[in-house]
Chains A and B, each alone.
Chain A
């Protein structure tokens, strides 16, 4: 086990405490700021301290003062990208706590929308990664092709984000037969596009030079630090809730955790492996959605279709439940406790994927250069505006602050330098 690197992190964290760090890395345009404080030896990163929480919104506190239907819509606004992931975990937790069944057709629809979200999230991430490396042409290409799935989501749900599909006991909207061909058409589009994505991201010399052996998280580190999602799978950790604890439509199919081995590469846990996993997971999501559409059960959308009856049933409910969903960035987890005659959840805990991967960031940075920071930070697909402002502490005690623009410039200069 590579505990040495992990112990180094903890010591580095302690040493960073001695320095006063400016507050204010919030950015009004982004939802979740974060502050990194790097300790440097020349250009090399020898220590990193991470401080989240600048936009802690007290979601759980707010949810525990609203009824469960209101809290469901609050959960949908935890994340704009994973905007079905939290409602899926929340509804599962409430349904487990209250003993409410979800009809098979509703489970299939939840699965389909969840996988469509994975496609758009992974393509979005690929564009961000390209931008951080200085390939804005690739950014625009990926975000252009992402529009197809956004259009499909809008057609199926009415919204590009915050789809308002899950409701406790089922889903709010059906996928009618006349919409199925739209989904099939979009899936065919992405199937034709997959080889282009693989060529652009995995067979490009410049991308390889900037991402191979950069931002490494070893297998043992991923296990010890409890990394999740593509971040863990890129290190060869075969962890995926859809495989390990199959729920909803995944219960009837054999989803396998994708690792770099599926691309014929021994897992290193570097940024390149993160790209492999996400690109291959787009293909996997296509297969899952096709399977769901082919085998879509008929029947009800909600086991308790009338909202007043649902609220009455929830008010009587007493119990605890957990909800899990393999979101694009990793497992989303919700715990809830209900008391009879109390409309609000008495206890509610939300665990988003970036929280789970926060510690895994530390070893990924160590030993790499300042110019690699943007792509390493992006590699876990963080759900926060991590790059607004950074604070550096050099070994001789000199402190400086660098803005995102400067870091992106350094990253791009490195790409140009190594590509000749």
Chain B
């Protein structure tokens, strides 16, 4: 699958709500053949449509979901491996959406891609998000009763840890 074909799959279902951020071409080895990343963004209410379109066109592998606390919003990057199976056939897709901290929730995609559950549970606990419709909303990596959200940059309960880590980094680099 080529990046433009993949983009057409997404725009075919989601239309102008898909924002094409960029297509990145990488050339490794002798540089004869490129490999591609495709970076797109959709509003959170169209995420399921975008994932549904991918599922209908291919068997997308969700690699993980990365998050990024950018202040008043959390950016969510759904990393998908699309078109795998043949030599040079895959595109590394980054499907981005973002949710405001004032309404920190997003629909699950676990019913569309069951393998997404691990990544969704992780985002739920580490960012304190609500994943609407998630089939299992227990903490996964954090202790069952933990209410700390370690990847939030505004997590007040981690201020002491933050200071301790700064002291540690200073100690590590004392001879540098």
Contacts and interface: CB of A to CB of B under 8 A. Distances in A.
Interface of A: 3, 6, 10, 13-14, 17, 23, 51-53, 56, 58, 60-62, 65-66, 70, 96, 102, 104, 107, 223-228, 238-239, 241, 243-252, 254-257, 320, 322, 324, 331, 333, 335, 337, 346-347, 349, 351, 355-356, 358-360
Contact of B150 (A58, A107, A245, A333): A58
Given A104-B30, A246-B33, A247-B26, A254 B172 contact: no
A104 B32 CA distance: 13
Contact of B79 (A53, A239, A333): A333
Nearest to A243: B87
Contacts of A23: 143
Interface residues of B, number: 56
B160 interface: no
B86 interface: yes
B81 interface: yes
Between A3, A14, A51, the greatest number of chain B beta carbons within 10 A of the residue's beta carbon is seen for A51
A244 B84 contact: yes
Between A56, A224, A322, the greatest number of chain B beta carbons within 10 A of the residue's beta carbon is seen for A322
A228 B142 CA distance: 24
Given A246-B28, A335-B66, A347-B68, A322 B83 contact: no
A245 B151 CA distance: 30
B176 to A, nearest CB: 9
B136 A13 contact: yes
Given A104-B30, A107-B29, A355 B61 contact: no
Given A238-B85, A251-B27, A256-B87, 8 more contacts: A10-B117, A61-B150, A107-B28, A226-B116, A245-B81, A245-B84, A359-B115, A359-B118
A226 B61 contact: yes
Nearest to A14: B136
Interface stretch (B10-18, B40-48, B88-96, B99-107): B88-96
A91 to B, nearest CB: 13
Nearest to A228: B61
A136 B24 CA distance: 50
A239 B172 contact: no
* Chain A contact residues, majority secondary structure: mixed
B147 interface: no
Contact of B169 (A58, A66, A104, A241): A66
A346 B153 CA distance: 11
A335 B96 CA distance: 13
10 contacts: A13-B136, A53-B142, A53-B143, A61-B151, A226-B113, A238-B86, A255-B87, A335-B77, A359-B114, A359-B118
B63 A333 contact: yes
Contacts of A250: 28-29
Given A51-B140, A333-B64, A247 B115 contact: no
Between A23, A102, A349, the greatest number of chain B beta carbons within 10 A of the residue's beta carbon is seen for A349
A227 B141 CA distance: 19
B67 interface: yes
A40 to B, nearest CB: 21
Contact of B24 (A96, A324, A335, A347): A96
B66 A347 contact: yes
Given A65-B165, A239-B61, A96 B135 contact: no
Nearest to A248: B28
Contact of B35 (A14, A65, A238, A246): A246
